[in-house]
Amino acid sequence: MERGRMMIQGFFFWLILVFDLVLRTSGNAEGDALSALKNSLSDPNKVLQSWDATLITPCTWFHVTCNPDNSVTRVDLGNANLSGQLVMQLGQLPNLQYLELYSNNITGTIPETLGNLTELVSLDLYLNNLSGPSLHLSAD
């Protein structure tokens, strides 16, 4: 009887460990991608102050929205007085639908990895200082 209870407790302990590990690793990949963006930007108005890389997921950060599975769906940083450059790690947000970075002072090029954002609904980069090949959007 006692032995059976200990086995059940041991099983639940193991289950919690595995679940915790899964949450941490899946959460951190997206948090790491957004932390890379933060580190690449200058943020005089401190809009990224809540972006604490030590949290298990980025879902509690301001200007970040997640789905119920704690995967990032929105990054809303329009008109935030940010400067600096975009990072290729942005391509590592598989459920990202809205990337709003309009009206900042972002320079450099648009990372090709954004092509991996298959769920993207809106990509707003207007009113920045981006350079590189211009997009050819007309069907000819």
Ligand X SMILES: *[C@@H]1O[C@H](CO)[C@@H](O)[C@H](O)[C@H]1NC(C)=O
Closer residue to ligand X in complex, CB, 66/82: 82
For 51, phi and psi rounded to 5 degrees? -80, 80
To the nearest whole angstrom, how small is the minimum distance from the Cβ of residue 91 to ligand X?
5
Closer residue to ligand X in complex, CB, 26/81: 81
Binding footprint of ligand X on the chain (CB under 6 A): 44-45, 81, 83, 91, 103-105, 107, 112-113, 115-116, 129
Kindly state the tokens that stand for 60.
């509690």
Contact present, 77 and 30 (Cβ < 8 Å): no
To the nearest whole angstrom, how small is the minimum distance from the Cβ of residue 107 to ligand X?
6
Closer residue to ligand X in complex, CB, 65/84: 84
Closer residue to ligand X in complex, CB, 39/129: 129
Nearest-CB residue to ligand X?
A: 113
Kindly state the tokens that stand for 39.
């580190």
Exposure string for 40-76, b = 16+ CB within 10 A, e = fewer: bbebeeebbeebeeeeebbbebebbebeeebbbbbbb
Between CA 42 and CA 83 the distance in angstroms is 5
To the nearest whole angstrom, how small is the minimum distance from the Cβ of residue 129 to ligand X?
4
